Amino acid sequence: MESGDITRNSRTLVTVVAVAALLIALHTVISRLSGPEVFGPADTEISVGAGDRFSIEVPDDPGDGYHWIVAAPRPDPAVLRAAGQRRIMPDDDAGPPSAGHGSRALDFAAVRPGRTDLRLLHCLRCATGAADEPGAGVLNFRVTVG
């Protein structure tokens, strides 16, 4: 084997490794830029991977005094944890936030593989028995973390 063959093979190997590293980096960047997966009230069965973040987007009118909370029984903290919430305004910005436009995203982090139930409550006072308040709403989800 000539020394030119070794150099040529080394260059090919370095090129292949560099392309593979570039593809992995590109995939990581695109995954992070695309953001967490978003589910809605009708998505009662949610499947995500361990370490993933996701949101449940629900209609929200801050002017009506109602709030969205994670209700009892709470999800298993070894499987799922709440990671905050945020108000989302529509793109057309058709009015002030109190005009009944927009939604709320409740953010969650999948901790490790398992299955747990998640109950969201839309309540006014959000005290014991809040699910029975007039105008209250309940959403139930089964979350599977793989």
Whether the predicted pLDDT of 19 surpasses 90: no
Whether the predicted pLDDT of 75 surpasses 50: yes
Q: Residue 39: helix, strand or coil by DSSP?
A: strand
Task: Report pLDDT for 116.
Answer: 98
Locate 133 and state its tokens: 């308040």
Strand order in the sheet with 67-70: 45-48, 137-145, 114-123, 67-70
Whether the predicted pLDDT of 68 surpasses 90: yes
pTM: 0.70
* pLDDT confidence band for 29 (50 / 70 / 90): low
Domain layout of the chain by residue ranges: 1-34, 37-145
* N-term to C-term CA, the chain: 50
Task: Report pLDDT for 103.
Answer: 94
Which has the higher per-residue pLDDT, 120 or 16? 120
Locate 111 and state its tokens: 């901790």
Task: Report pLDDT for 13.
Answer: 80
* pLDDT confidence band for 11 (50 / 70 / 90): confident
Locate 75 and state its tokens: 């999800």
Q: Which residues contact 143 (CB under 8 A, 6 or more apart)?
A: 46, 47, 48, 75, 79, 80, 108, 110, 115, 116, 117, 118
Task: Report pLDDT for 36.
Answer: 82
Which has the higher per-residue pLDDT, 32 or 73? 73
Whether the predicted pLDDT of 58 surpasses 70: yes
Fold designation for 37-145: Immunoglobulin-like (2.60.40)
